[in-house]
């Protein structure tokens, strides 16, 4: 058996095509262009690529983007001052604010993320937006879990009643992913188990998963013996190696066991950027 590929790149294009029409309609009715402000502190090469992809994505769907590049030695107060300015921007409206992570060591991320207005927090990281997600009343869904949920729903993969195992408990992927899939309604109603570095007998648990979502941050961590035959496997990881890009899943081995699998690259990554654009339009609508 060879797993069917869940093509995130193809789905991202489909969603962007839909979004382009929605953005055009918003501009026509509001005489204002949805605008994303992206803040990049320092010169981390990976962050540069991510921000560039987000700026390009805005252009593709008819949105505006503003790029704020700050030197690596920027102080926490300087960054907070810029965020405060963007929160209040009216003459040149900013609808969504993105602070690219990671930040330099002198800046406390736990001070920065809550400083972004919850109405402009298109990453979905503000405590108020996290709380709304817990209550099942989300304003903005975190972009990577949002993309994964869309990948499952739009490929007509049954979620309700299935056992989902999430490997990884990060605030950006693992925790919100689990919360989203256990909510009532479309894209939810799953039974969710969250595993992490302290989990005992991890292979025994991952083999129970109908849907296995892996965001552990270790290359090729999940191997074929850890996967239930026919399972849906979503690989969130991306690692640059001497042999190219690989994920958290050993694709060559697992693809012979799984029923569906995401590739790396071309799986979850393109959807993460696309859902940021979806959130930015939603933010523009909220502010009107």
Active-site residue numbers? 54, 100, 123
The upper half-sphere exposure of residue 127, i.e. CA atoms within 13 Å in the direction of its Cβ, equals: 6
In sequence order, the 6+-apart residues with CB closer than 8 A to the CB of 28 are: none
Residue 99 pairs in a beta bridge with 39
Residue 116's SS3 state is: coil
**Residue positions counted in the chain:** 288
Residue 13 DSSP class: H
Helices of type H across 89-141:
109-112, 127-134
Gap between the Cα atoms of 271 and 279, Å rounded? 12
If we measure between CA atoms, which residue out of 206, 198, 205 comes closest to residue 227?
A: 206
- Residue 43 token pair: 């010169």
In sequence order, the 6+-apart residues with CB closer than 8 A to the CB of 175 are: 169, 194
CB 112 within 8 A of CB 102: no
What residue has token string 């602070």? 99
Buried residues in 108-143 as b, exposed as e (16+ CB within 10 A): eeeebbebbbbbbbbbbbbeebbebbeeeebbbbbb
Percent of the chain as helix, strand, coil, to the nearest 5: 40, 15, 40
Gap between the Cα atoms of 251 and 236, Å rounded? 12
């Amino acid at each position: 058996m060879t797993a069917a590929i869940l093509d995130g790149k193809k789905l991202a294009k489909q969603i962007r095509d839909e979004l382009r029409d929605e953005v055009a309609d918003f501009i026509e009715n509001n005489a204002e262009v949805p605008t994303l402000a992206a803040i990049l502190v320092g010169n981390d090469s990976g962050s540069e690529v991510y921000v560039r992809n987000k700026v390009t994505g805005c252009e593709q769907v008819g949105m505006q983007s503003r790029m704020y590049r700050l030197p690596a030695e920027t102080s926490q107060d300087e960054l907070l001052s810029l965020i405060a300015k963007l929160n209040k921007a009216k003459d040149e409206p900013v609808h969504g604010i993105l602070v690219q992570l990671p930040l330099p060591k002198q800046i406390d991320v736990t001070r920065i993320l809550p400083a972004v207005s919850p109405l402009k927090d298109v990453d979905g990281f503000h405590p108020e937006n996290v709380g709304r997600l817990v209550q099942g009343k989300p304003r903005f869904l975190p972009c990577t879990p949002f993309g994964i949920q869309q990948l499952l729903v739009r490929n007509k993969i049954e979620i309700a009643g299935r056992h989902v195992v999430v490997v990884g408990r990060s605030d950006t992927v693992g925790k919100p992913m689990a919360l989203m899939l256990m909510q009532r309604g479309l894209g939810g109603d799953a039974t969710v188990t969250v595993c992490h570095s302290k989990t005992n007998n991890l292979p025994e648990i991952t083999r129970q998963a109908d849907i296995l979502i892996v965001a552990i941050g270790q290359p090729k961590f999940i191997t074929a013996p850890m996967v239930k035959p026919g399972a849906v496997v979503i690989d969130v990881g991306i690692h640059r190696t001497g042999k190219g890009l690989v994920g958290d899943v050993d694709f060559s081995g697992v693809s012979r066991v799984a029923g569906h699998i995401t590739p790396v690259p071309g799986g979850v990554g393109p959807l993460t950027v696309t859902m940021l654009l979806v959130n930015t339009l939603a933010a523009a609508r909220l502010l009107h």
